[in-house]
Amino acid sequence: NAGVTQTPKFRVLKTGQSMTLLCAQDMNHEYMYWYRQDPGMGLRLIHYSVGEGTTAKGEVPDGYNVSRLKKQNFLLGLESAAPSQTSVYFCASSYVLAGFNNEQFFGPGTRLTVL
């Protein structure tokens, strides 16, 4: 089991460029999440998905789009990158059992710098 993987690990963009971050999980989890973590800060939820084909906005969705075409993959897109989007991005997944949400498993993170 690879758990949760993220691609790429590092990326440098220029303002206005676009990119897609890929998250993959092999645990058959229903829920998937994208967070950003700024230096010395907590985790802020960007978007999340409760199942294949569904997505929802989190706390800080502006400037990002997501897609969940397959259960195991959750993509995060930046259409026109801005310096304020410089951050570390974490993907996570979890399962629900008998009405209870359960432990989130996090990917290793993607460090994105926008110049």
Partner 1 sequence: GENVEQHPSTLSVQEGDSAVIKCTYSDSASNYFPWYKQELGKRPQLIIDIRSNVGEKKDQRIAVTLNKTAKHFSLHITETQPEDSAVYFCAPRNDMRFGAGTRLTVKP
The answer to the question of residue 107 lying near partner 1 (CB under 8 A) is: yes
The answer to the question of residue 8 lying near partner 1 (CB under 8 A) is: no
The answer to the question of residue 58 lying near partner 1 (CB under 8 A) is: yes
User: Which of 59, 70, 80, 115 touches partner 1 by CB under 8 A?
Assistant: 59
Kindly state the tokens that stand for 90: 């974490």
**Region from 19-27, 61-69, 77-85, 107-115 binding partner 1, contact rule CB under 8 A:** 107-115
**Region from 8-16, 20-28, 60-68, 99-107 binding partner 1, contact rule CB under 8 A:** 99-107
Contact 107, 90 (CB under 8 A): yes
Burial label for 18, CB within 10 Å (0-12, 13-18, 19+), is: exposed
Name the 3-class secondary structure at 85. helix
Chain residues that interact with partner 1, rule: CB under 8 A: 31, 35, 41-45, 48, 58-59, 90, 94, 99-104, 106-109
